[in-house]
Amino acid sequence: MFIIGVPYSNCEYTSVLPCTSEPEAVAIACGAKLGGSECLVFMQDCGLLSALNTFIGLSDTYKIKLNVTIKFVETPEHHKKTCEMARIVYDTFRSNRKDIQ
């Protein structure tokens, strides 16, 4: 399994490559999958928001199937709005896609 993503606090995964952003991690995973490798992409909740366009425009549109795991982290008050939005996106995604855990 080709594991790639952007780390968060107490992250249980190690990325094969040092990604610079979540959209990049998704695109790299798509490239690996095109080449025949199974992939796991990991990121935290707010990363999902920034990666949204790549998830939809690349993985979804081009039917490149990825395994994805999103970590919902404990967030300080000032960060709440972002996380609420991430939860909405996550729930919408999950109802459409079985590959998001």
Point out which residues bind another protein (CB under 8 A): 2, 4, 16-21, 23-37, 53-54, 56-58, 61-64
- Which CB, 15 or 44, lies closer to another protein? 15
Please say which residue, 52 or 75, places its beta carbon nearer to another protein.
Answer: 52
How far apart are CB 55 and another protein at their closest, in Å? Answer: 9
Closest of 91, 8, 9 to residue 42, by C-alpha: 8
Task: Report the sign of the C-alpha dihedral through residues 76, 81, 82, 87, in that order.
Answer: positive
Please state whether beta strands 39-44 and 2-5 pair in parallel, antiparallel, or not at all (unpaired): parallel
- The residue (of 6 and 83) whose beta carbon lies closer to another protein is 6
Structure tokens at 95: 């109802």
Under 8 Å between Cβ of 13 and 47 = no
CB of 23 to another protein, least distance (A): 6
